[in-house]
Amino acid sequence: MNVIAPAKVAENDEQPFYQPHHKIYPQSVHGTFRRIKWFVLLVTLGIYYLTPFIRWDRGPGEPSQAVLIDFPHRRFYFFFIEIWPQEVYYITGLLILAALALFLMNAVAGRVWCGYLCPQTVWSDLFLLIERWTEGDRRERIKADGGPWTANLVARKTAKHFLWLMAAWWTGGAWVLYFADAPTLVHDLATFRAPPIAYIWIGILTFTTYSLAGYMREQVCLYMCPWPRIQAALTDEDAFNVSYRLDRGEPRMSVKKSIAARARGEAAGDCVDCHQCVVVCPTGVDIRDGPNLGCIQCGLCIDACDAIMARLDRPTRLIAYDTDINIRARMQGKPTITRIMRPRTVLYAGLIAVVGGLMLAGLLTRTVTSINVIHDRNPEYVLLSDGGVRNAYGIRVLNRRTTARRFAVAVAGLPGAALDVVGATKVDGRQVVEVGPDQTREVRAIVSVNGSAANSTPIRFVITDLADGSAASATDNFRGPGAS
Amino acid sequence: MAEPDRPHIDTLTGIPTTGHEWDGLTELNQPLPRWWLWIFYATIVFAVGYWIVYPSWPLISSSTNGVLGWHSRTAVVEALDELKASRATDVAQLAATPIDKISSVPAVFDFTLAYGRAAFGNNCAPCHGAGGGGALGYPNLIDDDWLWGGTIDAIRQTITYGIRNANPDSRQSAMPAFGREGTLNNTQIFNVANYVRSLSGLKLSPSADIAAGAKIFADNCAVCHGADAKGNRAVGAPNLTDAVWLYGSSLAAIITTITNARNSSMPAWGERLDPTTIKALTVYVHSLGGGE
């Protein structure tokens, strides 16, 4: 805690401008949750670094990368899914799903995201691993930082920063691979022929990874991230959280004192105040203070405490995933209850099912052919010399197949209508428009009728694939000078 | 502030307070970390650098220029040059393709229409309307009625040299002001106007002498508009038997036209636009619906 020199305060009653930084030296730990975290780290980093290299055959002329964000051609590819810019609502849906999944995780087991899955946690863990390899564990690091600069320390620090920069560089390197053909880009990067923007982005991500995972670490969770604030408002007494079971732990005292106290028949908690839960904590909080904004609930204190409890022949899980309501129940001697299924979790799960179902339905019913029509607004119609009426439309034909296709354009619903599609070729009296692979084409359609038409007649534009007969249509109105 | 020589410490949390109190509520002092302050100071330094490098401080009639010499106008020019460079291939292709072949090369045709639409919006829309629908006195370019011809060649000729302007090659013709010049009197004009309306089957005035009107038409109007009144594109004389009326078909509008004549003009765009743009405009106008 920062303490102000009383003399200074006496002068002007000022408080410090900033929170002094206490560097955190998390100690290594072994146990169930550490193993889970290593596993999650391997899987998530593996997904991140390797996904761009997964190939997916989409046919000639199409990108063969499974996951690709193709900005120049305005396409997003995800395995069998190909998203066009106007279908950005799939991304919206994904974001909604992600938020709901976060809420559900939180309602069931607290900050699962923070503790195991958040990139800030995963990369910080990776960087801590490198730090431990090069500089040693907590004690060695504290000692070295407090002591003189020796050649050995300089070598260790140099190695650490080199490895950090390598990891950060590869993080940025993998990032850019999602935006271009990965093998080609790797080759271009290695031979210094990649576009400058690739190097710029790698540089930016190298810097952010290096500073966020190397230096900022818990500061990101404490000061930058909004989720701890939101999470605190979303959690409830039935949610499992990494908790210190104060019903069992208090009053905390040393092993000797607790033996003496128990011999006297006095209450003595299982907590021996060894501070192992604090020294392993990556954000430097004391879990025994209760739910805490700084606690990312990674479970490492559970491992640390279990090791001590096992050594003392006391039951493990003095710190454990537990709920507020059960801690209170045990203190009052009531039976504990676990309620995973409750309105909150059911609602979140239901919403996830609904949004996911809608997205799936959208994907399954996604068409490979479609047509949009926009009626000319100025003018809405023109009169012809024989008294007939002419309307013009912009029609946009979408071809989501990977081959060029030819469509016959026709208009229905208006007897005697003559259709002229600008730029179409005439095949057997039909107006045929060719649309390139995976493209749209906009053409002007001019519809004319003899004699005066009613004010507004609904008409339908139909496109028919000449090769397979599949069709799509769109409706609009034919307008005239009638009783308007 | 009971004890001014010591920071107030909140008894429950042990955290110093800011010393502010509202009805017994005090505020814990939770200052930002130092790095956050550094970032704040860095933004100030950045702002100073920005003042030096970019135009920033307003002066009486200008502003400081900045050492980089950046200017929004030069940036626009550069952006336009970049745009032109990115279109150079397409424009070259458009320039190289004969005008009557453009519609048969889809890629060139699509580009030409887009190019033509943009040029139309910049130059032609004020009179002919954004969609080419025209207005009273400004011909509709979507219908099938043309004063000077609707073929590619005729449209290009009209756009390049214009109508009734100072350009020696512009399309020339002038309808006499039959009333104002005293060639016809009011009754004659009334009769011939009714005769013209009769050609399109429009409602006639009961007092009109159609036969007399027909005679007046044959004597005065047929030389340009034709004995059958179907017009003459060589002199831009409109077809008077169809449903399209540039200045309106009401009796009053027609009487006004015969009395005072209407001789509107169009600029010679060849004097202002490059041949490629004229070419694109020609193809675009031809594609609007009435192209012959």
What are the DSSP E strand ranges found in chain B? 17-22, 25-28, 32-33
Q: Please list the helix, strand and coil fractions of chain A in percent, rounded to the nearest 5, in that order.
A: 45, 20, 35
A282 belongs to a structural domain: no
List Cβ<8 Å contacts ≥24 apart for B34-41. Answer: B34/A18, B34/A19, B34/A20, B34/A21, B35/A21, B35/A216, B35/A219, B36/A18, B36/A223, B37/A17, B37/A18
pLDDT surpasses 90 at A278 = yes
Residue in B1, B33, B289 closest to A223 by CB: B33
- Asked if B142's CB is within 8 angstroms of A390's CB, the reply is yes
Q: Which residues of A touch B134 (CB under 8 A)?
A: 379
pLDDT, position A137: 92
A67 belongs to a structural domain: yes
For domain B186-260, the CATH superfamily is Cytochrome c-like domain (1.10.760.10)
Residue B167 distance to chain A (closest CA, Å) = 31
pLDDT, position A15: 58
pLDDT, position A12: 43
pLDDT surpasses 60 at B3 = no
Rounded to whole angstroms, how far apart are CA atoms A316 and A334?
Answer: 21
A329 belongs to a structural domain: no
Of A200, A232, A264, the position where a domain reaches its end is A232
Give the confidence band of A452 by pLDDT, cuts at 50, 70, 90. low
pLDDT surpasses 60 at A267 = yes
For residue range B60-80, what is the model confidence (pLDDT) as tens digits? 998 888 899 898 899 999 999
Rounded to whole angstroms, how far apart are CA atoms A10 and B6?
Answer: 7
pLDDT, position A214: 94
Residue B185 distance to chain A (closest CA, Å) = 30
Distances (CA, A) of B279 to A342, B2, B91, B133, B284: 72, 88, 11, 20, 9
A273 belongs to a structural domain: no
Average pLDDT over residues B112-129: 95
Q: Which residues contact B43 (CB under 8 A, 6 or more apart)?
A: none
pLDDT, position A232: 87
Of A183, A200, A232, the position where a domain reaches its end is A232
Q: Which residues of A touch B1 (CB under 8 A)?
A: 13
Q: Which residues contact B186 (CB under 8 A, 6 or more apart)?
A: B179
CATH classification at residue A389: 2.60.40.10
Cis status, amide bond into A183, omega within 30 of 0:
no
- Asked if A386's CB is within 8 angstroms of B239's CB, the reply is no
Rounded to whole angstroms, how far apart are CA atoms A344 and A350?
Answer: 10
Average pLDDT over residues B165-173: 94
Rounded to whole angstroms, how far apart are CA atoms A466 and A407?
Answer: 6
- Chain B residue closest to A4 (CA)? B7
Give the confidence band of B289 by pLDDT, cuts at 50, 70, 90. confident
Rounded to whole angstroms, how far apart are CA atoms A115 and B256?
Answer: 86
For residue range A404-428, what is the model confidence (pLDDT) as tens digits? 999 999 999 988 899 999 988 888 8
CA B9, chain centre distance (Å): 71
- Asked if A385's CB is within 8 angstroms of B32's CB, the reply is no
Rounded to whole angstroms, how far apart are CA atoms B274 and B34?
Answer: 62
Rounded to whole angstroms, how far apart are CA atoms B134 and B142?
Answer: 9
pLDDT, position A298: 94
pLDDT, position B7: 64
Q: Which residues contact A389 (CB under 8 A, 6 or more apart)?
A: A381, A382, A383, A448, A449, A452, A453, A478, A479, A480, A481
- Mean pLDDT, chain B, whole residue set: 91
- Is some CB atom of chain A closer than 8 A to the CB atom of B16? yes
pLDDT surpasses 70 at B192 = yes
Percent of chain A residues topping a pLDDT of 90: 72
- Mean pLDDT, chain A, whole residue set: 90
Rounded to whole angstroms, how far apart are CA atoms A115 and A298?
Answer: 4
The DSSP result for B109-159, as a single string, is: HHHHHHHHHHHHHHHTHHHH-TTS--BTTB--SSSS--SS--SHHHHHHHH
- Asked if B36's CB is within 8 angstroms of A223's CB, the reply is yes
Q: Decide: B281 and B116 in contact? Cβ < 8 Å.
A: yes
Q: What is the value of pTM for the model shown?
A: 0.78
A281 belongs to a structural domain: no
Compute, in degrees rounded to 10, the torsion defined by CA atoms A160, A162, A166, A172: 100
Residue boundaries of the structural domains of chain B: 73-168+267-287, 186-260
Tokens coding B254: 């027609």
Residue A480 distance to chain B (closest CA, Å) = 13
Q: Which residues of B touch A1 (CB under 8 A)?
A: 14-15
Q: Decide: A380 and A484 in contact? Cβ < 8 Å.
A: no
Residue B145 distance to chain A (closest CA, Å) = 6
Looking at residue B123, its amino acid is N
pLDDT, position B35: 87
pLDDT surpasses 80 at A53 = yes
List the alpha helices (DSSP H) in A266-369: 276-279, 300-311, 324-331, 343-364
Residue in A17, A18, A379 closest to B129 by CB: A379
Give the confidence band of B1 by pLDDT, cuts at 50, 70, 90. very low
Tokens coding B73: 């106008």
- Chain B residue closest to A388 (CA)? B243
pLDDT, position A7: 39
Report A:214-273 residues touching B (Cβ under 8 A): 216, 219, 222-223
Higher pLDDT, A87 or A116: A116
For residue range A334-390, what is the model confidence (pLDDT) as tens digits? 998 988 899 999 999 999 999 999 999 988 888 889 999 999 988 899 989 888 899
- Is some CB atom of chain A closer than 8 A to the CB atom of B1? yes
- Is some CB atom of chain A closer than 8 A to the CB atom of B88? no
Higher pLDDT, B119 or A378: B119
Residue in B1, B109, B289 closest to A392 by CB: B289
For residue range B229-287, what is the model confidence (pLDDT) as tens digits? 999 999 999 999 998 999 999 999 999 999 999 999 999 999 999 999 999 999 999 99
Range of weakest confidence among A218-222, A232-236, B133-137, B221-225: A232-236
For residue range A179-190, what is the model confidence (pLDDT) as tens digits? 999 999 999 999
pLDDT surpasses 60 at A173 = yes
Q: What's the structural domain count of chain A?
A: 2
pLDDT surpasses 50 at B210 = yes
Nearest by Cα to A401 from A73, A64, A59: A59
CATH code at B73-168+267-287: 1.10.760.10
pLDDT surpasses 90 at B107 = no
Tokens coding A369: 């052919």
Strands A18-19 and B32-33: parallel
| CB-based burial label for A51 (10 Å; 0-12, 13-18, 19+) | middle
Q: Which residues contact A460 (CB under 8 A, 6 or more apart)?
A: A411, A412, A413, A473, A474, A475
Average pLDDT over residues B98-110: 91
Which domain, by its residues, includes A449?
A: 369-479
Look up the ipTM and state it: 0.81
pLDDT, position A25: 94
